[in-house]
Structure 1
Amino acid sequence: MYAPNCGLSLATNGTGMKIETYYSKAVSYAGMASFLAILQIFSLIHQMEFTPTPSSVTNVSYWTIVMQAIMDGYLCLLHLTAGIVVDAVFIPFAATAFFNFVLVSVFGMRYLLVIWRIQRPEVVRTTRPRPQPAPRVEEEIEGETPPAVPANATPVREERSSPTYDVGTLYCKLYISLLVGLFLFYHTATSSAFVQNIVIAIVGLAFYSFWIPQSIRSISRGCRRPLSPKYVVGMSISRLAIPLYFYGCPENVLAHKTTPWIWALVVYMAFQVLILFLQDLLGPRFFVPERFLPQTYNYHPILATEDEETLQGEEEAGGSSGTHSRDCAICMLPIESAPSTSTGLGVLGRAQYMVTPCHHMFHTDCLEKWMRIKLECPVCRAYLPAC
């Protein structure tokens, strides 16, 4: 360009992008991001239907859903900010931000609240101090008053909670995480390009490790198929689409340079998905050495000798022989228990009954069906570890 009145000339060696082309690419990207958000919403709804009972929800990792919710919160804020900065694409970017907001605030937080309420007894059980044995109280003698309670005794408080408190706590934690992350992000944006790349690589690797907590939870609980295969595949593909667009597509809306390292992220995600599927197929602990496996409760123990003697006495009083019987509190039918032996018949006999940590016996089929609905003892309502 040459200005004859000023005597100035401007020249460029590069090629730019027309503003119409830029707006067209921005609208296309917003449409793609909205479609991905809708796909993630339906995938999450399918996962919620896949785990309809407390017993199935307790196998889902809380931190896997938390990491995905934080990612959706950041995408919502970034799309909304981009729509505010560029007025011409405000409507498509605002629509994308709305779908991300629905995903994280409606469905994501609802599922998190369900997981939190069901898995909270595990946290209370591991963090609550062991109760001290109460002092032995002698029989009260007529005319004497019972001993006074010590002044330094601490009263036992029952833990109470309400749905409003739980929802408020979860939302506060989410918003605090988003604010802290945004502060670090904007503080890093003013740094050098090298620092930005390092921070983006660390944050991306951390966020895209959201299947690892689920693998660890499956190992600790020894459970298979905690997540729906459609949910795993749908979430993995949809969450890889945006980084692949910016770092793998040379014609992206930001004209960001492509990098081959993005395919390392794809391989990393594929490896996590492969581990999840192998855990469903070969068992959740197939790659963990036996000495590192966490201990799980055995619902089919060998009956103690005193229990057998008691059952034997009941058996002789009833006139039956050869088997021991007790009544199942669920179906009210007798439980056939074999005597403790190391032979194969003894193992088959133990498979017919289940004994809870609170020492209540049930039929195996009855208690397994009960635990699909509630992880509480049908007799005393004590917490039952998943089998």
Structure 2
Amino acid sequence: MADRRGILLTLVIFGFIFLSPPGPNGPPAARLHERPRLEDVIAEEERSLEVLRNATYSDLWENSANGRLLLDEAPQLNLTGFRPDQGFAWAAIPAVKKRARELLNNALGTSVTSAEGASGIPIDLPPLYTNITGYVHGPWVRSKLQDTAARPHLNLSSYAGEGPFGALLPRVFDRNITGDAGDVSIRFHERSPYAPDILQVPGSINITGLGAEITLRDPANENEAELQLYGVYNMDLGQAILTTTSEKMAGVFMLAHFALSEGTYAPVKAYMNHSISQTVQKRMDGIIESFNPWPSTGEGGPPSNLNPPNCELIIWLQQLPPRGLPIALPQTNYLRFLESELRFPTGAFLPPAPQLRFNMLAFSPDCGYVLESKGEPDFVPQEGEHLVGPKIETLFGDGRNHLLLFALIIGGQIALLKRQMHEASTPSTRSRISFTTIAMLALGDGFATMTLLLASLFISNLSVDLMAVAFLSFVAVSFFGMRFMFDVWTAHAPERERAAREEAEEERHRRERLRDALERIRAERNERLQQLAAARTSETSNVEQPVVVGPPLANHEQTTVAADPPAGDALPAPAAATPPMDSTLPLTTANVPPPSDPQLTTPALAPTTTNTPSATVPVTTAAGADQTIPDTLPLPVTAQRPTDTGATPIFMPSDQDGLITQTEAGFQINMEVEPRISSFGSLYMRFYFMLLGVLFVSLNAAGWPSVLRRFYFTTIALVYCSFWIPQIFRNVQRNCRKALRTEFVLGQSVLRMMPFVYFFWYKHNVLFASQSLYSLTLLALWLWIQIVIITSQEIIGPRWFIRKDWAPPAYDYHPVLREDEEGNTLPLGLSEATPSSPPTSPLLERRVSLNLSSPIARRSSLAKEHKERGKRVYDCAICFQDLEVPVVETDESGDSGLASGLLARRNYMVTPCRHIFHTACLEGWMKYRLQCPICREALPAL
């Protein structure tokens, strides 16, 4: 047993490290467990709020004399993030705010800044949205201020967290943008979760709270930063100021100091005092229990030194005048009425609402980067139009319309599937269809169902519409898709059983070959042992000789009885030398005749063998086979002796779980070689488990890096659009055509391609997915190739694009008819029945009943004469119409006949019994019965 005392010592050491009380300086393990308490956080918020109440605009940022930052002259503003020892790049704020004023002037006019700065009341403003809830997205570029702005001087060792065994290595900052260009998406909430209603301050300036979810995509390092910001929105100016708040920067407490002028500083400060006071009071009352009511990520849990640091961000957003407003009407009044109608619809007929337009300026004080939205006046409109997007009411309206369109698409899929199910209503037609193709189509409908149901839980405004479309998709997968899968699965049952039997037969042959090899090895071993025993017998005179049963036999018929050698080095009793085995005889017991006398004289056996009750003595023949003679009493004289025919008895149990075979060693149960799906119920469970697995992986992939996420979803889309590949493969395997209707193939391909067209090509999709024409072209081209192949299989042949030895042999119902004697493949037509012979088909029965069996009437069963060379005319026994077929004459080459009749061969079908019919007639017949209409010969399935 292993010594585990070292484990106990290790546990004691770890317990001492983690459970030791913290000292004055505290070991690293004690500092790891230190967490800020909620009371301490509330106390720090109250102190920061008091600093905000006592601050003024000129105390912190600018001096009217030189316009420089005066951090050293404002020590009373003791806020987290403003301390000089933190090394933030606050010296760049004057240049950043100057750039924000330029963007404001470009958006609203040059007179806005002076008028707003003097009295705080803007004049001559263009019409702007007061409610900006919605989505905007567009490109960003690195600002020109990046090269001139002051860089941060951070002490990176302070960001290295403490682990159980000391300080960790400095880590990379999250949300650090290093590229020169990228994309940004912003979703505006109506107000922040802990903000009061609209606050109107003296001067007719309306301020409201604002929350935003921002996604910054950086193609340089394939990074995507998602963060939440909180701030205020000035409805008169259309200006929003947002910031992050964390344990290393008190963003919301310093938000008022990010105002562009002293005129807007006062209303922002009043609003933030009111908002933060309400939030702190709710925290003291226990209503808000999170450590950070304004989290940038997550749920505002307690900070941890083990989490990587994040770049803080301050964003200035300026609304641009909307486009498309009627010039004849007062634009401001019209925009207010439009907003009211969108929010509280009364049924008035209105044109589409203009989109939201914003420019953006983002600054990170600790990471030191400055970003701007790409647009005028620095860039032409073709390169970028800043940030553009719909209002939330317009987005929800478009979402309802798009969901209605998707519902129509699902309805079309159900209609096509229903028509295909009606067409494939017999086992013969269902056996042609690939089960994997139908399962992939149903899997796509199931994935759409689960996705819509999950979306309905998060989008409350569209929950009813999403659940309705999800139910329609659920009907498509459960009532139609799964039912069709079950029908196809049932039709494929004989194939699966036949394949299982072939596998079992192949496994049986393999085991027989192995058993024969073992018997041959055993016979050689016994021969060597007998030779060794014979050599020892010549040296020892007191060893008994084996008893020979009956008269002497021939070399290949002499039978000796010997026991198996005992375990160990003990040798059996010596026996007479056996002549060498003839390798030409098979290793079976059929060459040895059964003994006529049940009581055979056996040789002297070892005591360990003869004293065993009910022992069996193997009889070794010269042919190498073994026979087992039970050690029992002889049968009565009147009992009939069984005749050994050489066959192996097989017993079929009632449950047919396996075949019971009587072997030499007893009874053996032959089970299946590999476990198979015994019922459709297990397949049903596998289908839904696969669906849930794909759904969970896809939800997890939404948070992967952009490269991996794009690769995953493109791969999933490419695999899903390969649903015709299994059908093409089945057509090749079975050499069948027209397994699926042409309208089903084309219709399903077009309808199932529409969602990809919507997301990859439509610019204003609800998910704001970027256009990817290359991906859409790849999917469309791949699907089109499959359609072309599956259509060509119906016209040219299922195996026209592969070699003959690549697929199993199958009967060709469209052979080339030849008239030469060597390859005579001309059909027989109808069988000529005589009055004395019974009819061989319903057609002949009818002719006999109508006395039409005269030689003149029976002449129509033969090939009729045709004036044109290389053609014959036959009668179709199903439609009673003439059938003209091309025939290769004796003096024609096979290649010329094959080329000339490639398409003409599709008009007729010749059965294995050499009867010819119209293709449409025989295919319609074979939908219900796989028998020849004339001779009732079994026909292979199409």
C-alpha offsets along residues 245-299 of structure 1, whole Å, 9 cap, x if unaligned?
A: 0111001111111111212211211121111111112222222233434311479
CA contact (8 A) 2:456 2:463 kept: yes
Q: Report what 2:688 is aligned to.
A: 175
1:259 matched to 2:772? yes
Please tell me whether Structure 1 or Structure 2 has the larger radius of gyration of its CA atoms: 2
Residue 169 of structure 1: how far off its partner (Å): 2.5
Q: Report what 2:484 is aligned to.
A: 111
Residue 154 of structure 1: how far off its partner (Å): 2.3
Q: Report what 1:313 is aligned to.
A: none
Counterparts of 1:116 and 1:19, CA distance in 2: 47
Query: 1:62 and 1:81, CA in 2 relative to 1: closer, same or farther beyond 3 A?
Result: same
Instruction: Tell me which of 406, 412, 415 is aligned to 1:39.
Output: 412
1:11 matched to 2:288? no
CA contact (8 A) 1:39 1:238 kept: yes
1:277 matched to 2:795? no
Instruction: Tell me which of 639, 643, 646 is aligned to 1:143.
Output: 639
Counterparts of 2:409 and 2:922, CA distance in 1: 41
Query: 1:185 and 1:156, CA in 2 relative to 1: closer, same or farther beyond 3 A?
Result: closer
* Structure having the larger proportion of residues in strand: 2
C-alpha offsets along residues 172-223 of structure 1, whole Å, 9 cap, x if unaligned?
A: 1211111221232223222111111111111111110001111111112121
CA contact (8 A) 2:735 2:811 kept: no
Counterparts of 1:383 and 1:155, CA distance in 2: 31
Counterparts of 1:370 and 1:199, CA distance in 2: 47
Q: Report what 1:192 is aligned to.
A: 705
Counterparts of 1:101 and 1:147, CA distance in 2: 65
Structure 1 segment 54-203 matched on structure 2, within 5 A:
54-128=427-501, 129-130=504-505, 143-144=639-640, 146=642, 150=662, 151-154=666-669, 166-203=679-716
Query: 1:143 and 1:285, CA in 2 relative to 1: closer, same or farther beyond 3 A?
Result: same
Residue 372 of structure 1: how far off its partner (Å): 2.9
Query: 1:330 and 1:344, CA in 2 relative to 1: closer, same or farther beyond 3 A?
Result: farther
CA contact (8 A) 1:54 1:118 kept: yes
Counterparts of 2:411 and 2:922, CA distance in 1: 39
Amino acid in structure 1 at the alignment position of 2:428: S
Query: 1:328 and 1:112, CA in 2 relative to 1: closer, same or farther beyond 3 A?
Result: farther
Deviates more, 1:7-16 or 1:212-221: 7-16
Q: Percent identity of the aligned residues?
A: 28
Q: TM-score normalised to the size of structure 1?
A: 0.74
Amino acid in structure 2 at the alignment position of 1:96: V
Residue 364 of structure 1: how far off its partner (Å): 6.8
Residue 353 of structure 1: how far off its partner (Å): 9.0
C-alpha offsets along residues 146-193 of structure 1, whole Å, 9 cap, x if unaligned?
A: 589632232789xxx9xxx84423321211111221232223222111
Counterparts of 1:41 and 1:383, CA distance in 2: 35
Query: 1:166 and 1:373, CA in 2 relative to 1: closer, same or farther beyond 3 A?
Result: farther
CA contact (8 A) 1:61 1:214 kept: yes
Query: 1:332 and 1:112, CA in 2 relative to 1: closer, same or farther beyond 3 A?
Result: farther
* Structure having the larger proportion of residues in helix: 1
Q: Report what 1:234 is aligned to.
A: 747
Gaps of 5+ in 2: 1-232, 235-267, 274-313, 318-359, 361-386, 510-588, 595-636, 650-661, 816-833, 846-860, 862-887, 891-907
Q: TM-score normalised to the size of structure 2?
A: 0.32
Structure 1 segment 211-360 matched on structure 2, within 5 A:
211-260=724-773, 261-297=775-811
Query: 1:67 and 1:38, CA in 2 relative to 1: closer, same or farther beyond 3 A?
Result: same
Amino acid in structure 2 at the alignment position of 1:226: A
Counterparts of 1:116 and 1:46, CA distance in 2: 19
Counterparts of 2:708 and 2:413, CA distance in 1: 32
Counterparts of 2:691 and 2:479, CA distance in 1: 17
Counterparts of 2:421 and 2:402, CA distance in 1: 29
Query: 1:82 and 1:369, CA in 2 relative to 1: closer, same or farther beyond 3 A?
Result: closer
Query: 1:45 and 1:154, CA in 2 relative to 1: closer, same or farther beyond 3 A?
Result: same
Query: 1:46 and 1:289, CA in 2 relative to 1: closer, same or farther beyond 3 A?
Result: same
Query: 1:24 and 1:219, CA in 2 relative to 1: closer, same or farther beyond 3 A?
Result: same
Counterparts of 1:142 and 1:384, CA distance in 2: 53
Amino acid in structure 2 at the alignment position of 1:271: I
Residue 25 of structure 1: how far off its partner (Å): 1.4
Query: 1:58 and 1:144, CA in 2 relative to 1: closer, same or farther beyond 3 A?
Result: same
Amino acid in structure 1 at the alignment position of 2:399: A
Amino acid in structure 2 at the alignment position of 1:213: P
RMSD between aligned residues: 4.2
CA contact (8 A) 1:62 1:115 kept: yes
3-state SS of 1:152 partner: strand
CA contact (8 A) 1:84 1:90 kept: yes
Amino acid in structure 2 at the alignment position of 1:372: K
